[in-house]
Structure 1
């Protein structure tokens, strides 16, 4: 399917996680160990935040991440305290820039790994659920972008976890009307520069892989000579499709049907329970 990661902490070069880690996102684009597909070469994108009052920046491309020569320079040049990156393996929709993640609306960025089953059958009814005021902002043809705009419709900017739950419920109810069983499989991430909201959920309760970093402060005590932990800071946090490093104690799997909110150094987990708006 896809692979993605989101980071918050001290400003670091995007290169650190895109290229330099042993199992970096670029490595995963060719050799994913935990994904539904080993190769994820149908485009990529990165999104990052600069000054607090600035809208997020994006760089997206429809070609494979491993072959984009400009990405390495951009990843070395950009430092950010909050960013997200995504490599795509397409399902049902074409490989084109407007279908590459992250999707953006205002200060919000959104990425998704997974699928809506029989999406071409459900697409029209799903899109009719989107707030008409938001509809003109849709650029591509993916199920992921529709999920994002449904979440915005259901209040992502106000209560993000609840909005994602309502989005998931709407997808499942729409699929049920069309006789599509187990329609939704997702790990998703939404961020606004101040918080990272991630969720792991699927209709069949067998979601794609998702992990988060454990306490960096504790790891700094365990590995005091490792410069990587000093660089990111004690409040750093990563949520990602699969681990970047083979280091004991660094990663914890996100349980099935759980949402995580990382904000100002605090990490909160809660049950993800789709519910009607």
Structure 2
């Protein structure tokens, strides 16, 4: 129900990554190429980025379409960063909570985005509510499925769970309660990226030691883009990308660390698994 992107690399203007490429996130707001659900992402957008020597990111979010915001055009031209997470939104419930519902969500050094939906929200996941402290529920930024997913993941992060397992455990927990949920999650702290492919498209582009991009779909036709198989956890830094299956403990499945990219190595190609219906 959205398109999102995270990048770690050398410092550059936001527009060079989000606006200028032929199939940029900006263009994906009205003409996505790989989106399986929905067609136009005009229900809000957001950009979160990190400045040097400041671990807490800045955010710019709006309730309307990204192409209609002239202030963003100026901001994207002059703001430079080496770490960013951005999203354009196709709302499950149009108009819900305005810009507060637009990713990225934030807490401390973390930025988070959810591409997908929880069918039957909120009743389908009501059984998970007792797992969260009351203060976490009361401080949710919006009354949406994405904000609830973020609350579950953030609770794990605050409990000391590393980012990759925090996302994977959250996905499995929600999928057990709502089996048809689509849960492509994206998380960064400005130094690492964690993401899940669960029901929609996800790709990564790696230039080891220089830049890594994780996105719902490629923003250009660079042959180094690799599709992430469905039901996979991706963890990346500027130096390496690791893929592993998202599965319950004890389930049979591929070995962990399906793909590891290190400096000086070409990106590994991973054959897609059966697509989600």
Q: TM-score, normalised by structure 1?
A: 0.83
Matches within 5 A, 1:1-277: 1-35=1-35, 36-92=37-93, 94-95=95-96, 96-155=98-157, 158-175=161-178, 182-201=179-198, 207-214=199-206, 216=207, 234-247=209-222, 249-274=223-248
User: 1:94, CA displacement in angstroms?
Assistant: 2.9
CA contact (8 A) 1:2 1:114 kept: yes
- Measured in 2, the distance between the counterparts of 1:46 and 1:3 equals 12
- Contact 1:93–1:142, Cα closer than 8 Å, also in 2: no
Kept after mapping to 1: 8 A contact 2:106/2:112: yes
**Off by >6 Å, runs of 4+ in structure 1:** none
Equivalent residue pairs, number = 247
* 8 Å CA contact retained: 2:167, 2:195: no
Between the aligned partners of 2:226 and 2:238, the Cα distance in structure 1 is: 20
- Give the Cα separation in 2 of the matches to 1:28 and 1:59: 18
Q: CA RMSD, aligned part only?
A: 2.0
| Aligned-residue offset at 1:107 | 0.8
Contact in 2 for aligned 1:93/1:141 (Cα 8 Å): no
Residue 146 of structure 1, CA deviation: 0.7
Deviations 1:116-172 (A, max 9, x none): 111132354333322334334312011111111101222365312222222122213
The Cα shift of 1:93 comes to 5.7
Given that residues 123 and 143 in structure 1 are in contact (C-alpha distance below 8 angstroms), is that contact kept between their aligned partners in structure 2?
Answer: no
Give secondary structure in 1 for the equivalent of 2:226.
strand
Q: Separation in 2 of the partners of 1:150 and 1:259?
A: 17
1:52–1:193: 8 Å Cα contact kept in structure 2? no
In 2, distance between residues paired with 1:18 and 1:264?
A: 19
Q: Which moved more, 1:50-59 or 1:122-131?
A: 122-131
The CA distance in 2 between the partners of 1:159 and 1:275, in whole Å, is 17
**Alpha carbons of structure 1 residues 94 and 274: separation in structure 2 relative to 1, 3 Å:** farther
CA distance in 2 between counterparts of 1:28 and 1:48 reads 20
1:14 Cα offset (Å): 0.8
TM-score by length of 2: 0.83
2:30 alignment partner, SS class: helix
Preserved CA contact (<8 Å) 1:31 1:38: yes
- More moved, 104-113 vs 121-130: 121-130
Q: Report the secondary structure of 1:134's partner residue.
A: helix
